[in-house]
Chains A and B, each alone.
Chain A
Amino acid sequence: MNIIEAVRSALQTQMRADPRVVVLGEDVGKFGGVFRATSGLYDEFGADRVIDTPLAEAGIIGTAIGMALYGLRPVPEIQFGDFIYPAFDQIVNELAKFRYRSGGQYPCPVVIRTPVGGGIRGGHYHSQSPEALFIHTPGLKVVAPSNPYDAKGLLLASMRQNDPVLFMEPKRIYRASKADVPDGEYTIELGKARITREGAQVTVVAWSGMVTIAEDAARLAGEAGISVEVIDLRTLLPFDIDALIASTVKTGRVVIVHEAPRTCGFGAELIASIQERAMAHLEAPILRVTGFDTPFPYSLEHEYLPNPVRVLAAIRQTLEW
């Protein structure tokens, strides 16, 4: 199964298990979504549960909030993460705040699915990685799987808990990433990272589309005799501090990789959190390999995106410090 198929399998599994689950968004019904993630759901569950909406993100999220207040379990799709901003107010000021501002009277279990990241020659508005904006929002959970198995397990877990989730899917590897994925039910607990490769000298932390980049860099490092541990964070909020600290204590060196621009990117928060707890174990400053503080470029996309060469250089730099 690839990531698209894994997402679809999770949606289908949960829609069969729970009649309260509805999918809504632009082109998600008859067409099955521009990436085909909801393909077949309209035929199986009908127009009441797989809803083609007007082209208005604030309306998609705003009405999903209303549905959740009433007791449904909406799973809206925002067609590209780059188009989420018209709904930003609904997500940040409404969805994320409902439980708190009602004193717990109105939970708002909405799971927003959206494809993120570059590497598809999509330019400015089909490539962004806006996770930091949402991680900075109390009340949201932010999940960013990197492979089909995790995508299904994390999406099922997201739909089965009672807090709003922004579920960011790595579109560059939507189809390229393949794995054995069980047809049946399984969940992966939110807030738990996974060590995808064990190592002793340097920890590389990544998520979403950057995990394969980190693993490729780790392989190159291994060929050069450097032992690298790779952590796939999987859930960004709340992030797995225990896994980060355990690996930092083990290696003493950390490199963080993300596609989003550097300044105030999530890497900054991870660095702060690690150094607060493991300063004495650090052998070198924690380094970041990230996108740049520019809008996402079209022609120079390959230069903008972190790649194994840049990650390997950072690994070497932290060792040579």
Chain B
Amino acid sequence: MARASIDSVGDGDGDDEALVGRVFQLVREDGTAVDEAALADVPRDLARRLFEGMVRIRVTDARMMALQRQGRSGFYGEAMGQEAAVVGSAAASEPQDWIVPALREAGVGLFRGMTLDSYLAQIFGNAADPSKGRQLPCHPCDRAHHYVVMSSCVSTQIPHAVGIAMAMKIAGDRGKVCFGFMGDGGTSEPDFHVALEFAGTSQAPCVLICQNNQWAISTPGHVQTAAASIALKGVGYGIEAIRADGNDVLAVYHAVKYAADKARRGDGPSFVELVTYRVSAHSSSDDPSRYRDESVTEIWRGTRDPIRRLETYLIGRGWLAAGERDAMAQALEAEVRDAIARQEATPPPALETLIDDVYEQPTWLLREQLAGLVAAPRARAPHQH
């Protein structure tokens, strides 16, 4: 992969100050190319795969939000408007890499091979859920594709990503990279700073990616930090930092691939800020109209929409036919509806699984408590989502 026009904060070439406000971009909002040479690295098939990956997330999220509103599933956190950041990052990973996600990276898992059924089973918390109905929806886990399960705590996962990368290095497993994701709010948490400290000193092969969607629930970026950019936070820890247009999937792919290639070579970690916008609410429990100017959101939903941008670019190249997006979306939606039908009909986990996996083997305390629960009168289950 050519270095192209990527220019990093902290790379020592003397133009950091100018870069703090600059955002790496390959395709403009109107779908025209910024850097033809760099775009030559993304052939038709890959570009179309990126497009399909983004549409898949859009369609799946829309369907699942509708289900949540109908009371058929619990919580949902969508990635509306951030699909480029998700899919571009995923495409830069290789099968042997590890993914440590935050809330909006399920699409990374899906792009890498997590099945839709597995993803939906987790949302329904049913007996087919690989993590056995243990967590809130949108916390999938897919060990086969090295997709680690997150907690709901913010940024606690970043030290894990660095630790995984440290282990790769200690074990001498060259050619692997660990991707750790976070949001802009996450960069205020102590665990973020601790993780960057360990990443810098260990030079472990990780790529830490911040989807800066400019909102942490109701908290805007300027309340979150006085730093001129989030990428700048990497510099203080001696980590090369890149700032890219998170709504330009080809820029995301190019920037993250650059960082991943570097880690893969053994040349250490990078911190990538992907500037995007949370067009949706934080989650199904949120109402952004109470705290932000939604006319701004409409700009991001409209002219700045990442799917629309890539669609225009692909049509311009002759790589996508007019109307093809609708057909693609319909086919993907049919897949989602079929999977929902299967997973919604799957029963909840058996009562006995309550005490499984607390430890490798249940302790006497757990066995005794389960026996007590089974033997005693039990309340009926409340309304099941």
Please give the residue numbers on chain A whose beta carbons come within 8 Å of chain B beta carbons, in ascending order.
22, 48-49, 53-54, 56, 58-59, 61-72, 74, 86, 89-90, 93-94, 97-107, 138-139, 141, 161-163, 191, 237-238, 241
Contacts and interface: CB of A to CB of B under 8 A. Distances in A.
Contacts of B141: 101-103, 105-106
Nearest to B156: A94
Contacts of B153: 89, 93-94
A101 B139 contact: yes
Contact of A103 (B98, B134, B191): B134
24 contacts: A53-B198, A58-B159, A62-B156, A62-B163, A62-B191, A63-B160, A63-B162, A63-B198, A64-B163, A66-B167, A69-B163, A70-B98, A71-B171, A72-B167, A89-B156, A94-B160, A99-B357, A101-B139, A101-B141, A102-B148, A105-B130, A105-B149, A107-B360, A238-B363
B195 A59 contact: yes
B219 interface: no
A201 B281 CA distance: 66
Interface in B130-175: 130-132, 134-135, 139, 141, 143, 148-149, 151, 153, 156, 158-171
Contacts of B171: 70-72
B40 interface: no
B52 interface: no
B194 interface: yes
Interface residues of B, number: 47
B164 A70 contact: yes
B201 interface: yes
Given A58-B194, A106-B141, A99 B163 contact: no
A141 B358 CA distance: 10
A66 B179 CA distance: 12
B364 interface: yes
Interface of B: 98, 100, 129-132, 134-135, 139, 141, 143, 148-149, 151, 153, 156, 158-171, 178, 190-191, 194-195, 197-198, 201-202, 356-360, 363-365
A16 to B, nearest CB: 17
Nearest to B180: A66
Contacts of A106: 141, 143, 148-149
B179 to A, nearest CB: 12
A94 B165 CA distance: 18
A59 B194 contact: yes
Contacts of A98: 149
B160 A65 contact: yes
Given A94-B160, A102-B131, A103-B130, A71 B167 contact: yes
B170 to A, nearest CB: 5
A176 B201 CA distance: 37
Contacts of B135: 101
B236 to A, nearest CB: 13
A74 B158 CA distance: 17
A102 B357 CA distance: 9
Contacts of B134: 100-103
